[in-house]
Structure 1
């Protein structure tokens, strides 16, 4: 019944092509209206991510202690001053920085957002600025020059203007030598005593918004003023002066970087992608009319995808970028099969009673021949993508829905609109005397010879081919364990020089934001809790037992050894906070607590090692706010946990840094691996230590998501296999033929994994998600070959003749599709971002592998199936379903 219904639809499309075109034109216009309603702002929210042990620990710390910055209500925004070929600490450069401050602080928007300087929650203090809300080395030096700690900004400027170059250099040296906070404001500022530096930064402190960030309007003022001042040549009292570069790394600088990234991508990748697609289509079709009709189908399928998303109110999100590329590739594949089968029907010899000469009958038979295969491809691809609707991340769920709608749209377009349009165009051209008979791609002497060679190989050595394929697939499966796992890939290096040197608009322009970010990462250390990601250690268990604080010290020492925290000589209060640092500060300010601490320290090493509950009680009595930030006490006075906060890291933690932090946690748990107290190491303490940070929590969540994608992928593979077995049993009367076809996807997946290992493509959230694409691509080509093979057998063709017809007739279309789609995706390899490079590499790898398996391995599998499988001959109806199709 289903087949007859499909035949009726195809008959209607090919018989009433003009009416079909009018209806589809109206539908496409409606889809265009839906595109205008498209939600392009959808993003993954933190609530979408799954709970992990690390995220639960982070939430527990937040609930018990507050955030890493311990509840500060301020947020800093930095303005960087750089003199790449000069001294950013010269008198002229420092004066220019103060004048920049004067220009921005007179802005009403910024002035209203600045704090009054009474709070030092972010570590900036209240000195060195017009109102205590801005601090920089220029302010600190100018205050020394004015010899007045309360000097306002105008007084600071006058003091520097009055000082000589030598006097300013001396003040700079003294400031950096005596003030470790000032050294952190200077590029490479860890070296004290130097009066020269490539750059320095000014920190503007604002009242934090609800998201903990500085107000956007205030950041805009800093960004615009920096952009206007960029390139200033600062000169004070003669001389050539120094060229200064002002920049920020806030929200608006990031937005401008994204705009430039999109512009680069559009100017470089889109023209190359279109050129490659059109070039390959022109080469394979050798007919501009077919290229035009095929591209109309591609564009229409993409419009339908976005239009349906708009009407349904589903966020486009990642579909905006990934969707058009995937659907274009699949649509081109569909077009190749429709056009090449149509050409076969029209170009067959006069003795072939299966090949009617007319346009409509040829198209009717062509669409009937490929419709079931295209439908199976659509179904299996949809299974692969829809398997991700159970993903906890809304962005991925929306992508799964969007791509599935695109796949279905492509199927509908290429069995209705494209055939109808092709009938109309070819009919019009033939009426004016233009011959529209074209040869299918596989009929060429060279390509046809290669494809027939695959059939000959299957005839002579099918078992050997299968053994080699199975060994290669097994190697790929083993390679799975060796894949490098990353949550997401980040771009750490600029675009390659050759990409920047391409002619004209093709040249990749390196965004200033990327260059500035690398400079800040390399030249500055984070200064305060708000400056970056900060790790925390939650210590639970016997926190009042003797020796537990010795374990904490051992962990801190391990952190210094590995570099996870600065050595004590280079450490400031902003770097690390622990029960020990809080106790040390309290003892320095309170003699009574100092005596309590000393009595609990039996070995005189400064760390209390007995009667810790009394020490904690005394600390809470002396400095309750500071104590509550590192020691958790319940309402009934029980001490449940301790907290250690590490130094902030602006760019997050790489894998090596995370390992160092985990080593600290392991040392506190066991007491081993550091020079702590021997008794503490040997004590039988039950301590559990969990390390968290934004990076660690995100990576743990991404790992869960990635694992979930892969588990769903395995289920999808099983669902596709069962679907093919059932479908082939229903359509062709052979479940085993469906099994042979389905096994090819497992082989393609294993080979793709092996290719990822060889090409160093890591397993990330995106590449794991794109493994769903491998299902659709991997089974697509195999379905076309095996379905054509079954059709030929049902016509009574001998097995090897049927195999040749399937491989040669379908292989040409597969090759054209592979070349076109692989060429389109290969352009992503020009993109400097490693995530997009991995995306392009994986898809090209999947396309090439799927093609190779379908024309090399599958023919051998079909030969073995014919020889050994029981009831190997299909018993379904001839392709097209109706008996009349055999007579046409």
Structure 2
């Protein structure tokens, strides 16, 4: 061992002595720190705006923000608006129109709801009947007193306006004056400093008012989405954490088989959560849906550490050794392994901290910090507390219930695990080749895994899983409406909700050739924008508004004709006059959706082929934007979400490669310094490579994509899964140095440490797998894959390490003999 290795060994011995000899001081120090972090827990905030947190600083989103800021959207309201979505047999019936207006009346009466105006079928029809009816009360009177004939005539007249068709469902029948759904947009007059939380309060209050009506009316908007997303966080924790707690408790009972040891283990787990959430509060990082996985991961790792320290301690005490010497041996042997596991876990979890997406970056930071806390509590506090409790137990004559280690060479579990040692010794080369081929095949298959990002990932499904109805109070989740409302908007307002991309054009729009430059690229559109049999684009722009107005207004048509030198219907001179006439006409509101007030930018909205892939649409629309005369940027939800999907994929690969590289280099240095065996670092990484490949292949096999949360699994899988390989290798090295025989060392390792690893694997995989019961799909998929990842890591470590270590021993022996021959 080198001098540096000696120093590390001495430092480990000194730390173990502090834990063993000054255990009371250690316990008091940790309790004081816990009290400090408990204060930080009160400062934890939540962030429920799931998708917005991912889109920060994405160029396509910046362009979309500019579009939404500069132009009035044709259908979706801005952030200071609330939608009333009404469904029924006929929402244009007198009864349903009056129900809609009653909700508006109640909203208007509440000053704190800040209703500035309302625009919907009910208000438009009422004003057709009585143009002076400007309040919901007056509008109710206009509809209530109208005859059936007058009401139908008013609906048909309202349909002639520019907005009515966007506020009723696609099945609107003007002859029958009927539709199955409608949208009413309430605009709020908000003061400066009006926050998202204030809007959420306003919209949830309106939601309660709408629910009081016998008609099917529901409020919808960003505040409602944020409220339900925040509710999902609480409901998911309330549903998952008790299940995790029961599973962990069950396995801890089996692993410890002693109520006092069980209480110690649970206390350490609680301290880990207090420290982590306290740090979350002090750091100001908000708690999001993605971070629901963090306490589950930390609990799983804490259980792993706890089982190892208690089990290793018991292995010594059952031989008759006293408590203090037994804990000294256990801590000295496990401390290095714990440090290695913690460092590699930090590499794996912390690799996500380099992501360009803030939620993934925050998840990486919190997970990395939490795993360090876990090491400190279980590596230092738990051994000290165990010794002190055992001293008190002996002093007061409290009996021990069961102090046997989980497995031994004579146990059935020990004999089962030793089979892998025998198999690895008999055909190591064959086994390693088979494992490599399996891992390579899974990796090749997994290259076809999809990457996705969508708002639906963060929302509960429209129909909750069947098991939810059996969940008792107070763990039962609440009711959610966002998903079903989105389905209504997508299904019944398809004309207004067509998949589309927006080309945001910046340039002098009063130049003579400005409008010609907007339509010229349409002559050769990409295939995803070429619709119908004629492969023509379906575009909405300021040119569309000009043409539509010219068709309805002869005077305006004459103005366009006088300024259209080439006769194609698009004016190419005196555009300032054309714009002024258009904006002062009844089509002015519609024109403002496509042309800014300073006439320096415009937007062109293109419908997209419905079955086109997101990535193809994005690539083609970005190429298409280069065909415009002025600076043009392709944007829209398709482009933004595809950009985020790309960042998610890059983050996953970057995190995986970084965590593997750092882990491999670190392990080679550690084993080189401590044991003069650097190649053991490579042997350590071998199983985790195969397990990660298996995980990616499984994702594709199950049809699961790399999304906002599952993308973190690759590096987290390295950080969490490497623990099994490290514990086996660390114990092997210790036994190998004492015995000098690789097979004997592997057999002892698997029957001793292997039993503890099996216990921790079961608790970790089932504990993290409990997230599969979460309400949101993104968390459910993460839990399922996390459980599989841990199981793969254990199984492949137990199967792959014995032949790999046997080959390492043979290679080391051959090298030693060759060096001896050279020296002789």
Q: TM-score, structure 1 length as denominator? A: 0.78
Counterpart residue number, 2:810? 867
Distance 1:461 1:452 in 2: 15
1:279 aligns with 2:243: no
Higher relative contact order (CA 8 A, sep 6+): 2
1:434 aligns with 2:402: no
Residues 510 and 314 (structure 1), Cα distance of their counterparts in 2 relative to 1, 3 Å cut: closer
Question: Which deviations, in whole Å up to 9, do the C-alpha atoms of 1:406-429 show, x marking residues without a partner?
Answer: 111111112221112212233333
Matches within 5 A, 1:323-402: 323-348=294-319, 356-402=320-366
Residues 644 and 171 (structure 1), Cα distance of their counterparts in 2 relative to 1, 3 Å cut: same
Preserved contact between residue 348 and residue 720 of structure 2 (Cα < 8 Å)? no
SS at match of 2:215: strand
Residues 493 and 19 (structure 1), Cα distance of their counterparts in 2 relative to 1, 3 Å cut: closer
Counterpart residue number, 1:500? 468
Residues 656 and 753 (structure 1), Cα distance of their counterparts in 2 relative to 1, 3 Å cut: closer
Question: Which deviations, in whole Å up to 9, do the C-alpha atoms of 1:612-660 show, x marking residues without a partner?
Answer: 864868756866998998689999xxxx99741347x9xx999747755
Counterpart residue number, 2:105? 102
Distance 2:49 2:481 in 1: 25
Distance 2:136 2:72 in 1: 32
Preserved contact between residue 77 and residue 219 of structure 1 (Cα < 8 Å)? no
Query: How many angstroms does 1:789 deviate by?
Result: 0.6
Preserved contact between residue 203 and residue 220 of structure 2 (Cα < 8 Å)? no
Preserved contact between residue 502 and residue 508 of structure 1 (Cα < 8 Å)? no
Q: 1:644 aligns with which of 593, 600, 604?
A: 604
Query: How many angstroms does 1:549 deviate by?
Result: 3.1
Distance 1:466 1:215 in 2: 57
Matches within 5 A, 1:465-614: 465-488=431-454, 489-491=457-459, 493-505=461-473, 508-524=477-493, 535-538=501-504, 549-552=519-522, 555=525, 559=529, 561=531, 576-582=540-546, 585=549, 588=553, 589-590=555-556, 593-596=559-562, 599-601=565-567, 606=568, 614=573
Counterpart residue number, 2:141? 158
Distance 2:146 2:581 in 1: 46
Question: Which deviations, in whole Å up to 9, do the C-alpha atoms of 1:197-233 show, x marking residues without a partner?
Answer: 444333223447779x99976875564355245253x
Preserved contact between residue 121 and residue 167 of structure 2 (Cα < 8 Å)? yes
Question: Which deviations, in whole Å up to 9, do the C-alpha atoms of 1:685-711 show, x marking residues without a partner?
Answer: 999975211442353145235414522
Preserved contact between residue 143 and residue 151 of structure 2 (Cα < 8 Å)? no
Residues 495 and 79 (structure 1), Cα distance of their counterparts in 2 relative to 1, 3 Å cut: closer
Residues 658 and 590 (structure 1), Cα distance of their counterparts in 2 relative to 1, 3 Å cut: farther
Preserved contact between residue 429 and residue 436 of structure 1 (Cα < 8 Å)? no
Q: 1:224 aligns with which of 201, 205, 225?
A: 205
SS at match of 1:454: helix
Preserved contact between residue 74 and residue 205 of structure 1 (Cα < 8 Å)? no
Preserved contact between residue 458 and residue 859 of structure 1 (Cα < 8 Å)? yes
Distance 2:425 2:197 in 1: 70
**For this pair of structures, how many residues does the alignment match?**
794
Say which is worse superposed, 32-41 or 14-23, in terms of deviation: 32-41
Matches within 5 A, 1:690-701: 690-701=633-644
Matches within 5 A, 1:755-834: 755-834=698-777
Counterpart residue number, 2:123? 139
Query: How many angstroms does 1:378 deviate by?
Result: 0.7
Query: How many angstroms does 1:274 deviate by?
Result: 1.0
Counterpart residue number, 2:820? none
SS at match of 2:789: helix
Say which is worse superposed, 854-863 or 37-46, in terms of deviation: 37-46
Residues 24 and 134 (structure 1), Cα distance of their counterparts in 2 relative to 1, 3 Å cut: closer
Alignment RMSD, CA only? Answer: 4.4
Matches within 5 A, 1:665-680: none
Which stretches in structure 2 are left out of the alignment for 5+ residues? 1-6, 818-824
Distance 2:629 2:537 in 1: 28
Distance 1:74 1:51 in 2: 19
Counterpart residue number, 2:797? 854
Say which is worse superposed, 6-15 or 281-290, in terms of deviation: 281-290
Distance 1:453 1:4 in 2: 36
Residues 103 and 49 (structure 1), Cα distance of their counterparts in 2 relative to 1, 3 Å cut: closer
Question: Which deviations, in whole Å up to 9, do the C-alpha atoms of 1:277-298 show, x marking residues without a partner?
Answer: 1112222333333222111111
Distance 2:243 2:668 in 1: 41
Q: 1:303 aligns with which of 250, 274, 277?
A: 274
Counterpart residue number, 1:268? 239
Distance 2:629 2:166 in 1: 39
Question: Which deviations, in whole Å up to 9, do the C-alpha atoms of 1:256-286 show, x marking residues without a partner?
Answer: 4245424432442222111111112222333
Q: TM-score, structure 2 length as denominator? A: 0.84
Preserved contact between residue 216 and residue 251 of structure 1 (Cα < 8 Å)? no
Counterpart residue number, 1:732? 675
Residues 653 and 686 (structure 1), Cα distance of their counterparts in 2 relative to 1, 3 Å cut: same
Preserved contact between residue 91 and residue 178 of structure 2 (Cα < 8 Å)? yes
Distance 1:170 1:644 in 2: 35
Query: How many angstroms does 1:339 deviate by?
Result: 1.2
Query: How many angstroms does 1:862 deviate by?
Result: 0.5
Preserved contact between residue 442 and residue 813 of structure 1 (Cα < 8 Å)? yes
Counterpart residue number, 1:290? 261
Counterpart residue number, 2:292? 321
Preserved contact between residue 562 and residue 660 of structure 1 (Cα < 8 Å)? no
SS at match of 1:494: coil
Question: Which deviations, in whole Å up to 9, do the C-alpha atoms of 1:52-85 show, x marking residues without a partner?
Answer: 66457658x769x9446499999542223344xx
1:452 aligns with 2:414: no
Residues 309 and 668 (structure 1), Cα distance of their counterparts in 2 relative to 1, 3 Å cut: closer
Which stretches in structure 1 are left out of the alignment for 5+ residues? 115-132, 233-242, 349-355, 569-574, 671-684, 875-888
